[in-house]
Structure 1
Amino acid sequence: MERLTDIMAGYARTAILLAGMTALFMGVGYLIGGTGGMMIAFVVALGMNAFSYWNSDKIVLSMHGAREVDARSAPELYGMVAELARNAELPMPKVYVIDNPQPNAFATGRNPENAAVAATTGILQSLSYEELAGVMAHELAHVKHRDTLIMTITATIAGAISMLANFALFFGGNRNNPLGLVGTILIAILAPIAAMIVQMAISRSREYEADRIGAEICRNPMWLASALAKIAAGAQRIPNWSAERNPATAHLFIINPLSGRGADSLFSTHPATESRIAKLREMAAGQPGGGTGGSWSPRDAEPARQGPWAGTAQGATRRGPWG
């Protein structure tokens, strides 16, 4: 019954989101081309919603140049995700690697049966095995909580709204535009901000919940807390050019991948990293042993394997497969 309730709640959230984003899309269409522009935007939005439901995950993965890996090409990463998925009682997701030096990761897919997790080469190089397990558990928490459909469709439609706003600068001067040139300029500025606010509204609270569920999946909150500190520091130093080209996808990542920090407190799609770490520390303090010992490890269920992080003792600091 609880699982059915979660599924229905997920579909309800998705329907509300799609309705809101469609209304925003139609509003921009109306301001560009009047009633005719609104109707065209409505038809385009319907087609985009249907297309996004089935293909938004592929679009996002393609935007970031992700390549799928398997048990042969990335045995340790694939095996880790498989064990964490079993621990979370989830189907095995597809696993992707993104050739990007910034440490980061995200999950996507319309449901747990069609989910994917993606990690950058930067995160594989910079985190220990345990820290990466915490990150992958966080991404599987998004899958388990059925956040991925909402977050991925939002990225696709928010990007389309931004493009539509840019079109306003070229086509907004026609006689059907009820606002004139000044209104057209306002559309180009305000429409992407409105889309960003929608992203912020659906993303920030979900990160706290994914942190909590992810800590339960890997059974050690401090693994994820340590990983978040390293990822945040790396994201500040190392640009993520694919994310800069596709800022509508920023809310998918575990840490904001964008270099612009000026409006973080107002428009950030992620809660403050320090607040997330503090909550994880509180969670660890409530566990036997303070969350520092006796935890399940994705290595526990499998014999030693050759490949990334292999050849080190359990509990030692391990670096990623390209480190």
Structure 2
Amino acid sequence: MNYIKTGMLMAALTALFGVVGYLLAGASGMAIALAIAVATNLFSYWNSDRLALAAHNAHEVDERSAPELYGMVRTLAQRAGLPMPRVYIIDEDQPNAFATGRNPQNAAVAATTGILRTLSYDELAGVMAHELAHIRNHDTLTMTITATMAGAISTIGSFGMLFGGGHNGNRPNPIVQILVMILAPLAATIIQMAISRSREYEADRLGGEICGNPAALADALAKIAGGVAHIPNETAEAKPATAHMFIINPLSGRGMDSLFSTHPDTGNRIAALMEQARAMGAAGASFSRGAAANPFGAGRRSGPWG
């Protein structure tokens, strides 16, 4: 269902792009805006992993520097049928995590030191499974396409009047132009965020399957949301364009399923995961033996990554 919803939203974004180009700039202006947006987003796509990781000062770890985390990701990647992604740690107190990379062969997962201290082993496995689900679903590609379209619409909205007349050389009513210039980028942003929310639900579902314990992922979401609400992430606040990548919105802990939220309501996500756990009969399952303990150093500021 989420794939159908995503397809319909992308179709709506494409249709909106055509309408805005038609009303404001005609074919020539639409082509110019698309060229700018494609060039910008292609650069971002090919360099998305490096840009995102550098933005949050992430450092790569391996089996020697972070054996528990690295081994967990390797096991989960094998379960998901994915190549081993690069593993990064972000020195950040706020509990959170994200995945990046243009495809499974060029992917990375990143976890904050805060999430390593906050979650149990099972809960962290659920979070990493969620991020691997994003990689397996090629969500980076989906979001790049939507970003390209939304960027093109915003460009037309900003510069449409400079590109020439509308259909058959006749300018539309100036009031209509102004309204389209204001409302079209807003509508594009709303659609883009709706697609992002749809992908989060799907990553939760698949992540629950990969780790085998949706209830643990549900518990992790509750803990992360609580941490985000009380611990600011100054880097994310300074670079809000990266907010949609995280498993929970790092900016302010907003949980409402509003038009402008990049993430679904956390309560709704938890309810869906608990229903999945009941269906799987896995509410009490563990990713590994002894998973109740947190080998990442609960309550400490440092862990096995050195």
Distance change >3 Å, CA 201–CA 173, structure 1 → 2: closer
Q: Provide the aligned length of Structure 1 versus Structure 2.
A: 290
What residue in structure 1 maps to residue 302 of structure 2?
A: 322
1:225 CA displacement: 0.9
Select the residue among 75, 90, 103 that pairs with 1:98: 90
Unmatched 5+ stretches in structure 1 = 1-8, 301-312
Aligned to 1:142: 134
Offset, 1:246: 3.0
User: What SS class does the counterpart of residue 266 from structure 1 fall into?
Assistant: coil
Q: Which residue of 2 aligns with 1:198?
A: 191
**Please, which moves more after superposition, 221-230 or 54-63?**
54-63
In the TM superposition, 1:7-18 aligns within 5 A as 17=10
**Counterpart for residue 260 of structure 2:** 267
Tell me, in whole angstroms, the C-alpha distance in 2 between the residues paired with 1:207 and 1:25. 27
What does residue 233 of structure 1 align with?
A: 226
Instruction: Provide TM-score, normalisation by structure 1.
Output: 0.73
Change (3 A) 1:207 1:42: closer
1:87 to 79, 82, 100: 79
Residue 275 (structure 2) aligns with: 282
Tell me the equivalent position of 1:77: 69
Q: Tell me if the contact between 1:220 and 1:284 (Cα under 8 Å) persists in the aligned partners.
A: yes
Residue matched to 1:108: 100
1:254 aligns with 2:231: no
Q: Per-residue CA shift, 1:99-149, capped at 9, x if unaligned?
A: 222211111222211111111222122112221111001111111222222
Q: 2:213 aligns with which of 220, 233, 244?
A: 220
1:65 aligns with 2:42: no
Distance (whole Å) between structure 2 residues aligned to residue 315 and residue 262 of structure 1: 27
* Cα distance in structure 2, aligned partners of 1:157 and 1:175: 18
Secondary structure in 2 aligned to 1:268? coil
**Percent same amino acid at aligned positions?**
60
After superposition, what is the alpha-carbon deviation per residue over 1:227-269, rounded to whole angstroms, capped at 9, x for unaligned?
A: 0000011111122233323333322211122227497523222
Question: Are the equivalent residues in 2 in contact too, given 1:94–1:117 (CA < 8 A)?
Answer: yes
Higher relative contact order (CA 8 A, sep 6+): 2
Greater shift in the superposed pair: 16-25 or 121-130: 16-25
Q: How far, CA to CA, are the matches of 2:283 and 2:255 in structure 1?
A: 35
Asked whether the equivalents of residues 127 and 318 of structure 1 are also in contact (C-alpha less than 8 Å), the reply is: no
